[in-house]
Structure 1
Amino acid sequence: MSEKIRYNLKEIGKVSKQIINLLFDTRLILLRGDLGTGKTTLIKSILNEMGLKENITSPTFSIVNEYELNRESIYHFDLYRIKNKKELDILGFDEYLDSGQKCFIEWPEIAIERIFCSYVDIYIESKSVEEREITIKTID
């Protein structure tokens, strides 16, 4: 499956609902795009639309944030600062992937070789200050 959605940032809640419908039971969601395109903003909106009411922050320095929704953990990774695969080992990245919980991963390129299950790949592209286009692909 591949789908493109173009939207104004004011419509992000509506777009997040569309994405949630596309995710079904997918537990691994990779987000790619240039710096500042809105990966974290989109994740915040998706989690809010799923019912998470707590403050959702970027894990830029913590690398991973954990949230709880309906007694299940949701992990939000930002791998931008990870320089090598050894750092993924120290983080326990594989254990998170094997946990069966939903994982949102920003900047997944360094970890892609460790992903052996199906996932949804979301690529965000800035079209203007207020407009974005996302390409959503399911990878089996």
Structure 2
Amino acid sequence: MTRSFESHLNDEVATVTMGNQVAAIIEQGAVIYLHGDLGAGKTTFTRGVVQGFGHAGKVKSPTYTLVEPYELERANVYHFDLYRLGDPEELEYMGIRDYFSANAICVVEWPEKGGEFIPVPDLDITLSYVGNERKIVINSASDRGVAIVEKLNKKQ
């Protein structure tokens, strides 16, 4: 049973705020896939998630390092950017499975490049341009994802 949530995001602040809202709802670990063209707001949304878990500093895209860890009081958040990944097997060499523990929040940009080396997500999110705004579509892909999307829909 899939659930969906859609919203228009007027600007960068709205995109960060949406990330904050998702972070506030996640009670346990979660795997979040982010899809969208370059510049569509994937890292901006991730900044909102990471800050929603209590990080006060900058949030940068780990384009060259593949993963940026944030070890926070409420949860460990791992931000993956697989855009420059040459071969999905490289993920096995970096110990990718260790990141996807029960309490971790894993946000994965460009998940299609990870192949079978990354788990099925709880949330499958697409960010796209609609004129000068962005549109976010959040689809559940697990029971945990259904619960998160249902809470988002209740808040709207």
Equivalent residue for 2:116, pick from 99, 113, 116 = 113
Which deviates more, 43-52 or 29-38?
A: 43-52
Structure 2 counterpart SS, 1:57: coil
d(CA) in 1 for partners of 2:17, 2:75: 24
Task: Give matches, 1:73-84, under 5 Å.
Answer: 73-84=76-87
Q: Is the 8 A contact 1:32 1:106 kept in 2?
A: yes
- The letter for the 1-side match of 2:137 is T
Matches of 1:68 and 1:4 in 2, distance apart? Answer: 30
**Greater shift after overlay, 11-20 or 37-46?**
11-20
Taking a change above 3 Å as real, the CA distance of residues 33 and 117 of structure 1, as seen in their structure-2 partners, is: closer
Structure 2 spans left out of the alignment, 5+ residues: 143-156
Q: Identity over aligned residues, as a percent?
A: 33
How many angstroms apart in 1 are the aligned matches of 2:115 and 2:141? 12
Aligned length: 139
RMSD: 2.1
Number of the residue aligned with 1:3: 5
SS at match of 1:85: coil
CA distance, structure 2, for counterparts of residue 14 and residue 7 of structure 1: 9
1-structure distance, mates of 2:102, 2:91: 15
Cα deviation digits, residues 48-99 of structure 1 (max 9, x gap): 2332112211101111000121163211000001121221112221222246
Equivalence for 1:44: 47
Equivalent in 116, 137, 140 of residue 138 of structure 1: 140
TM-score, reference length from structure 2: 0.77
- Structure 1: gaps of 5 or more residues: none
User: What's the CA shift for 1:106?
Assistant: 0.4
Residue aligning to 1:19? 22
Deviates more, 1:92-101 or 1:63-72: 92-101
Greater strand proportion? 1
Contact map agreement 2:54 2:74 (CA 8 A) in 1: no
Distance 1:34 1:47 in 2: 21
Structure 1-normalised TM-score?
0.85
Q: 1:134 to 1:112 in 2, by over 3 A?
A: farther
